[in-house]
Amino acid sequence: MKTGLIFILVLLACGCTNNADTTHTATSDSSVAGKQQDSSSHIVYNFTDTTLQARITDTLMQLSFVKESNAYIDSISNHKKGIAFITDTTNHQISVMAGYNGSERFETYYNFTIDPVTFEIKVVDAVSGDLVTVAEYVKRNKDQH
């Protein structure tokens, strides 16, 4: 216990005597143009290719389980918000998290991957962790939605 107390005191002393300049300039990610305010409640980040982003958003909003979640978020937010999307690109795929963009955190409901060439959409099944087609996801979760 005595060594643990000494270790904590040493850590505190090291942290308090650090006088280095901590001013950092943020660099921007080339795949993200900037953060959008929550005016539409559908898009959190914008890609530089807004046409592709609009197509992705429109397509995902047509999925029955996304529509249900959008209606749920609309009802709990007194009709001020809807489902939100955070998009990113990884390994020639587009990754999209869909969920509730609350004041304290983003609550992810669904994780999608989209092939930008074929526009094939897959969803992460939360139970198994498998990446499945939309039809398979709906089939596996038909009792829950």
Can you give the pTM of this predicted structure? 0.65
Structural domain count, the chain? 1
pLDDT the model gives residue 30: 42
- Residue 125, domain extent: 32-140
pLDDT the model gives residue 117: 86
pLDDT the model gives residue 47: 60
In a domain, 7, yes or no: no
pLDDT under 50: residue ranges of the chain: 3-40, 43-46
Residue 93, C-beta contacts closer than 8 angstroms, at least 6 positions apart: 113, 114, 115, 116
43-79 burial code (b ≥16 CB/10 A, e <16) = bbbebeeeeebeebbeebeebebbeebbeebeeeeee
pLDDT the model gives residue 104: 94
* CA atoms 7, 13, 18, 24: torsion sign: positive
In a domain, 18, yes or no: no
pLDDT the model gives residue 89: 86
Structure tokens at 13: 């002393």
